[in-house]
Amino acid sequence: MAQAYMTETDNAGSGSEQDHGRFRRLVGDWSRPGIWRRGLVLAGCAVVLALIMLVHAQIPNSVGNLGSLTETFLPWLGIPVLLLLLLGLLRRSATALIALILPVAVWCDLFGGLITDKTGGGADLTLVTHNVNAENPDPADTARDVAASGADVIALEELTESARPVYAKALGGTYKYHAVEGTVGVWSKYPLSGTRSVDIKLGWTRAMRTVVTAPEGAVAVYAAHLPSVRVKVDSGFTASRRDQSANALGEAISDEPERRVVLLGDLNGTMNDRALHAVTSQMRSTQGAAGAGFGFSWPASFPMARIDQIMVKGVEPTTSWTLPDTGSDHLPVAAGIKLGE
């Protein structure tokens, strides 16, 4: 028995020594001079990522609109940062891990504010915008889903001639007032006035303006659908028509006589995209001011970018969120605003 006891004790001591030995080897690996020489390529990649995010506005658009393409998916540069962190740990490279401080700091400066929950309450007006998809197989069901949000004002884009009466019928019971110009329309629980199309230099109507007179006051509502963009191997990010339309839309909003202005629509661009400067320079995104997270809206199956926007000036956003999938290729986005005095 004594011999057995001593054997078990010896085995326990041997296991402890093995664990201690592994720990010492691990510490030794991280304390050797080699940890500073390993991972230099990873460190270089980290610096390049930081520079891309830091000077994204200086990336030229002259070649394939590369700057706008980068800015469209800028938040996703956080993914390679995480990958570099994993590789740095596997390589046990102090140089790579220290270099990662740069892209992490820049990313947090750019997008850290979007992670926090800034939603509030007490909205005077609730808004929804939705690109319903011209090829939507069940527009009536999509209309019911959007109406279920309880919004006071709804803007719809990509309305086809055949689908317009379907949306009008499905929404008519809740929204007494509505107006359609070309392929965009606004449905409202409150009276509309001053409705007209807005020329965004396309040759057909994809933008409109109307005034919603709510109990707390009047607000000019713009509904717009800017031209689509494509990424092609031979020509890069084809966005010139969208950029031209954004400039025209920005000019129209700048000339708006109403103090309170809301823009609802599919802008086919993000708030980071410099090409939308004519609009973004004078309006705020409700998601950035009163949302939680990035609020990506496209594509609906796996949202990667927020190209559907609710933007405001002269009013205070209180909350912003995305609605569930309605069968379109976009998610609807919603926001609450206070009209103030």
Provide the domain count of the chain.
2
Q: Is residue 4 part of a domain?
A: no
Confirm whether 14 is domain-assigned: no
Same domain, 64 and 137: no
Give the mean model confidence (pLDDT) for residues 200-217.
97
pLDDT of residue 22: 58
Please report the pLDDT score of residue 34 as a whole number.
67
Strand partners, 44: none
Grouping H, G, I as helix, E, B as strand and the rest as coil, residue 88 is helix
Name the least confident of 225-229, 230-234, 294-298. Answer: 230-234
DSSP conformation letters of 49-65? HHHHHHTGGGS-STTTT
CA distance 54 to 49: 9
Distance, in Å, from the CA atom of 120 to the CA atom of 221, rounded to the nearest integer, reads: 22
Classify 261 as helix, strand or coil. Answer: strand
- Flag whether pLDDT at 25 surpasses 80: no
> 266: closest CA among 304, 310, 302?
310
Section 87-102 average pLDDT = 94
6: burial class by Cβ within 10 Å (0-12, 13-18, 19+)?
exposed
Of 68, 95, 115, which one is at a domain's C-terminal end?
Answer: 115
Per the prediction, the chain carries an average pLDDT of 90
Q: Which residues pair with 224 in a beta bridge?
A: 207, 265
* Residue 45 structural domain: 32-115
Does residue 56 belong to any structural domain of this protein? yes
Indicate whether 106 and 138 sit together in one domain: no
Do 158 and 266 reside in the same domain of the chain? yes
pLDDT over 60 (residue 28): no
Choose one of 115, 143, 174: the last residue of a domain.
115
DSSP structure class, residue 179 = E
Per-residue pLDDT tens over the stretch 274-324: 999 999 999 999 999 999 999 999 999 999 999 999 999 999 999 999 999
261 pLDDT more than 90 = yes
Q: Which of 90, 115, 140 is the last residue in one of the domains?
A: 115
135 with 155, same domain: the answer is yes
pLDDT at 63: 80
Residue 222 sits in a domain whose CATH number is 3.60.10.10
pLDDT band at 20 (very low <50, low <70, confident <90, very high): low
**Do 58 and 131 belong together in one domain?**
no
Tokens 């202005």 locate to 261
Q: Identify whether 15 is part of a domain.
A: no
The answer to whether position 2 is within a domain reads no
- Asked if pLDDT for residue 240 goes beyond 90, the answer is no
Residues 189 and 319 in one domain: yes
Based on the fold, state whether residues 91 and 150 are members of the same structural domain.
Answer: no
Average pLDDT over residues 118-134: 95
Task: Tell me the mean pLDDT in the region 19-25.
Answer: 55
Structure tokens at 75: 């938040």
Q: Are residues 103 and 138 in the same domain?
A: no
- Residue 2's pLDDT is 46
Angle at 206 between CA 209 and CA 327, to 5 degrees: 105
Residues 235 and 292 placed together within one structural domain of the fold: yes
